[in-house]
Amino acid sequence: MKKYRIIQKDILCSDMEEKDALETLQMFQSTNPDKKYEIEEYDPEANRMGRDPDLH
């Protein structure tokens, strides 16, 4: 499942659905119109290395 996050140069918000990301982006843009924000799509499952040994 793909998730979305809002970035400036750093990640500001993460692990959101697309609708939530769009709403949050609009909030950031209305609060700080002089700054540039982007929505980045990512897959949180892509960087996993297997099972978590702490859970087993």
Cα 54 from Cα 2, distance rounded (Å)? 25
Domain that holds residue 28: 3-47
pTM, entire model: 0.68
Contact yes or no for 6/21 (Cβ under 8 A): yes
- pLDDT band for 8, please (50, 70, 90 cuts): confident
Residue 40, in any domain of the structure = yes
Tell me if 55 is assigned to some domain. Answer: no
Which residues are CB-contacts of 29 (< 8 A; sequence separation ≥ 6)? 37
Question: What's the pLDDT score for residue 53?
Answer: 65
Per-residue pLDDT tens digits for 13-40: 999 999 999 999 999 999 999 999 999 9
pLDDT tops 80 at residue 51: no
**Helix (H, G, I), strand (E, B), or coil: what is residue 4?**
strand
Is 26 among the domain residues? yes
Q: Is residue 53 part of a domain?
A: no
Domain count of the chain?
A: 1
